[in-house]
Amino acid sequence: MKAPERYYDFEKDISGCGVFGVISKQRNLIKGDLPINAMACMHDRGNGLGGGFAAYGIYPDMADKYAFHIMCDDKSGVNAAEEVLKHYCTVHEFEPIPTRKTLNITNPPLVNRYFVSPNFDPAHELSDLPEEDYMVSVIMKINTSVAGAYVFSSGKNMGAFKGVGYPEDIADFFRLDEYSAYIWTGHNRFPTNTPGWWAGAHPFTILNWSIVHNGEISSYGINRRYLCEHDYLCSLMTDTEVVAYELDLLIRKHGLSWEMAAKVFAPPFWDEIERMDKDDKELYTALRATYGPGMLNGPFAILVADNNRLMGLNDRIKLRPLLVAEKDDMVFMSSEESSIREVCPELDHVWMPKAGEPVIVDLEG
C-alpha cells in the first residue's frame, strides 16, 4: 500500500526483557503457577512497565470460536468496540475477564472477552475476504477506529493477558493461577523510553500467533517499510509487531515453513552459504536476496507460539540469551536457566541453541 503521510515520523519503543515459554508435547495441562513463578524469578529483567502471558488450551469449550480479549479505557470505548464487533461477527458469549483487585496494579483498563465467529454479512465490505483475513481486518478496524479500545488477543482456544506491571502482578490481576494450558509464554519488560501502556506489553498476538520478544530490532526502519509494501501498517511502535506481521506474511501468505521463516529472520552468513552444496546455496542466496528487507537484524531472542507449536529463535550472533531445557514431555525456553530450575529443578537436558538456529517443538499426535 502507499505509505501514509509522515510514515517515517514514528517513535519506537526500546526495551530489554525476560522471556519464558513451556510446552507439553502430550498436551498435558500445565498450571498457571509454573510460568508465573518462572517469570517472578526473572523479576529484575523488567522494570514494572510491562508484563504478560499467553496460554494455549484455556478455552476448550469454545475452541472453535475466536476469543477476543478487548481492553478499553472507558465504557464508551467498550460500547463502540462492541458495535464494530457485532457488525462483523456473531458474538456467541461474552463476559468481563475475571480480575482481582491488587495493590500493585493501578488504573487498569476495562477488560472483556468475546467468543465470536465471522458473520460474512454480504452487506459489508469485508465479506469477500478469506476467513483469517476477515478476522484480521475486524481487529484492525477496532484498533484503529475505536478510540481507547484495543484487541489484545484474538485466537482460538488461547488467550493473552498483559498490562503495565511486573508479570507476577499482572498474573495476580488476571487470576492466571486459575488457568491451565499446554503452552505458556511469559514476558517481563524493561522499556526505556515510553511510559507504560497496556496494549504495548507482550505477548503480542494476532489470531492464533503469540510472540514474546527480548531485543531491539535495529532493522526496524526497513522492516516496517517492507511490511507497508505488503499492506501491513505498523502502528504499535514495538519491534514485536514487525515479527508478528512478518510471520503472518511469510508463513500464512507466502506459504513458507516455520524453518524457512526463521531463516528469513536470522539467515546464514554468506560465508556459510558459500560452503553449502549447490541446491542449498541457491536456496539461501535466493532467500536472502528476496527477503533481505525482512531480515531481523540486531539483538533478539523470540518465542513464537500457535496452537500446535512453540519456537525459540535467536539473532545471528546471539546477542540475547536463550536457553532450552527438557523434562519428560515438557520443553522449556527461557532467558535464564535459573527461572527454569526454579519451577523444575531436575531437568533431563539443558542447552543453549546456536545463534540463528530455530528450536521448534511440535505437539505430538
Q: Which among 9-17, 39-47, 115-123, 338-346 is the span making contact with other proteins, rule CB under 8 A?
A: 9-17
Q: Tell me: does residue 252 bind other proteins (CB under 8 A).
A: no
Contact yes or no for 49/189 (Cβ under 8 A): yes
Contact pattern from residue 159 through residue 198 relative to other proteins, giving x for each residue in contact according to CB under 8 A and a dash for the rest: ---------------------------------x------
* Residues in Cβ contact with 27 at an 8 Å cutoff, skipping those fewer than 6 apart: 57, 182, 363
Catalytic residue list contains 17: yes
- When asked if residue 219 is in the footprint of other proteins (CB under 8 A), the reply is yes
Whether a cis peptide bond, with omega within 30° of 0, leads into 122 is: no
Q: Please identify which residue in 179, 184, 220, 332 interacts with other proteins, judged by CB under 8 A.
A: 220
The three cell numbers of residue 238 are 514495538
| One residue of 97, 228, 276, 360 binding other proteins per CB under 8 A | 228
Residue 328: all three cell numbers together: 519428560
147 near other proteins (CB under 8 A): no
Nearer to other proteins, 60 or 255 (CB): 255
**Ranges assigned E (strand) in the chain:** 15-24, 30-31, 51-56, 66-72, 89-96, 110-118, 149-153, 158-163, 180-181, 183-191, 204-206, 209-215, 300-305, 309-314, 323-327, 330-334, 349-351, 359-362
| Cα gap 74→72, rounded to integer Å | 5
Contact 68, 88 (CB under 8 A): no
Decide if residue 96 touches other proteins (CB under 8 A): no
Residue from 106, 289, 345, 346 binding other proteins (CB under 8 A): 289
Which positions from 117 through 146 interact with other proteins, judged by CB under 8 A? none
Check binding of 341 to other proteins (CB under 8 A).
Answer: no
Near other proteins by CB under 8 A: residue from 27, 31, 43, 225: 225
Stretch that binds other proteins, among 144-152, 174-182, 293-301, 321-329 (CB under 8 A): 293-301
* Contacts to other proteins from residues 259-288, by CB under 8 A: 259-260, 269-271, 279-280, 282-283, 285-288
The answer to whether 227 contacts other proteins (rule: CB under 8 A) is: no
Note whether 91 binds other proteins by CB under 8 A: no
> Residues in contact with other proteins, total (CB under 8 A)?
55
Cell numbers at residue 207, please?
489470531
What is the rounded distance in angstroms from the CA atom of residue 7 to the CA atom of residue 330? Answer: 43
Sheet containing 149-153: order of strands: 89-96, 110-118, 66-72, 149-153
**Residue in this structure with the C-alpha cell 531480515, named with its chain if needed:** 295
Query: What's the chain's length in residues?
Result: 365
250/194 Cα distance (integer angstroms): 30
Active site residues: 17
Q: Report the interface residues with other proteins, using CB under 8 A.
A: 1-3, 6-10, 12, 14-16, 192, 215-216, 218-222, 225-226, 228-230, 253-257, 259-260, 269-271, 279-280, 282-283, 285-293, 295, 297-299, 316-317, 319
